[in-house]
């Protein structure tokens, strides 16, 4: 026989401590509707049902994976809706994965360009006067989105 577990409301501070969120983040998540509104004690202090902790754990993981607030909201809604199909969560995650892959390619291109800048400086001007630095010249003379180090690749 399992004892009945009585849920006690959690103060905003206790909930913040349990979930690792700042109190201000909890207020924000309540304001934007990611977590249900707190009830108020006669003193006016917010208190939350313990179930909100589960939602906040989901929110934390969504944010750790870089999901936007709107994507997180959709996943939170899906997590409590028996009428909705999990394919919606998969599609949302797939769209986010596609976005991450595009950003990853952009970051890889940025890394290659920055490595060329550093290599160019190391090979041609390191230790000289800053105004003659190939990095500064390249950044000031070219469109930064397509800049290539001087003396490299024409």
Question: What pLDDT score does 151 carry?
Answer: 45
What pLDDT is attached to residue 7? 63
Q: To the nearest whole number, what is the mean pLDDT of the chain?
A: 87
Asked if the model's pLDDT at residue 152 lies above 50, the reply is: no
pLDDT at 56: 96
Per residue in 11-47, pLDDT tens? 999 999 999 999 999 999 999 999 999 998 888 888 9
Query: What average pLDDT does the segment 54-67 reach?
Result: 95
Predicted confidence at residue 65, as pLDDT, reads 96
What's the helix, strand, coil split of the chain in %, to 5?
A: 60, 5, 35
Report the alpha-carbon distance of residue 119 to residue 49 in Å, rounded. 57
The residue ranges of every structural domain in the chain are 10-84, 92-141
> Is-above-0.85 flag for pTM?
no
C-alpha span between 118 and 123 (Å, rounded): 9
CATH topology of domain 10-84: Multidrug-efflux Transporter Regulator; Chain: A; Domain 2 (1.10.1660)
144: pLDDT strictly greater than 90 = no
Q: Identify the pLDDT of residue 89.
A: 96
Strands of the chain, DSSP E:
10-11, 39-40, 46-48
């Amino acid at each position: 026989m399992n004892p009945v577990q009585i849920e006690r409301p959690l103060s905003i501070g206790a909930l913040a401590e349990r979930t690792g969120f700042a109190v201000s983040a909890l207020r924000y998540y309540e304001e934007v509707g990611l977590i249900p509104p707190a009830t108020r004690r006669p003193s006016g202090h917010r208190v939350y049902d313990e179930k909100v902790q589960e939602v906040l754990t989901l929110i934390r993981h969504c944010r750790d994976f870089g999901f936007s607030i709107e994507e997180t909201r959709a996943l939170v809604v899906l997590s409590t809706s028996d009428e909705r199909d999990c394919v919606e969560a998969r599609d949302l995650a797939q769209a986010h994965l596609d976005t991450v892959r595009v950003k990853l390619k952009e970051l890889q291109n940025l890394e290659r360009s920055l490595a060329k800048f550093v290599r160019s400086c190391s090979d041609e001007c390191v230790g000289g006067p800053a105004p003659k630095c190939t990095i500064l010249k390249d950044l000031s003379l070219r469109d930064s989105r397509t800049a290539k180090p001087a003396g490299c690749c024409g």
